[in-house]
Amino acid sequence: MADLTSNQVCNICCIHYNAGLRCCALGSLVEGGYLFNKGGRQAWIVACSSRQVTRTWASRDDAVTVAQASNACGDWFVPSKTDLQLGYDCKSFWDSFSSANYWSSTEATATNAWRGAFNCGNIFNCPKTCTYCVRAIRRVLY
């Protein structure tokens, strides 16, 4: 896990690796993903667009498997509907994103789950059998 310290003046965070120091701004490539938000002593990282998958809700964790297989970090997860809304609000710091729908990990009912519409920012519940994009994220404390 990275050790992050904030710099309030420059809105820059520093990520300490084992042997070195690398400063990065929002939108920077960090540990296999892009830093898209920080605050409250938390940094949020979204997996690279090449790690995005399209699945039904039952297979949404494939995005986590893909992200973890290509990065040394083992703490990727599918965002909750709240986390997904934060991702939408900060999508300008992602490397790229689809204007389609993204699954969250949050269930609405036994047969429906919440998804975010990245063309408008709204969150809807839909049948779990639908196929949408899934992108894993990480939350790192600093």
pLDDT tens per residue, range 15-36: 433 222 245 789 988 878 999 9
**What's the pLDDT score for residue 23?**
57
Q: Between 17 and 91, name the one with better pLDDT.
A: 91
pTM of the model: 0.82
- Give residue 56's pLDDT band: very low, low, confident or very high (50, 70, 90): very high
What is the DSSP pairing of strand 137-141 with strand 42-47? antiparallel
Number of domains in the chain: 1
pLDDT tens per residue, range 61-89: 999 999 999 877 789 999 999 999 999 99
- The CATH number given to whatever domain includes residue 85 is 3.10.100
- Give residue 9's pLDDT band: very low, low, confident or very high (50, 70, 90): very low
Q: CA-to-CA distance for 120 and 57, rounded, in angstroms? A: 21
**What's the pLDDT score for residue 7?**
33
Sign of CA dihedral 18, 27, 64, 104: positive
Q: Between 62 and 7, name the one with better pLDDT.
A: 62
Domain assignment of residue 136, given as a range? 3-141
pLDDT at 53 over 50: yes
Q: In this structure, are residues 27 and 96 in contact, taking their beta carbons and an 8 Å threshold?
A: no
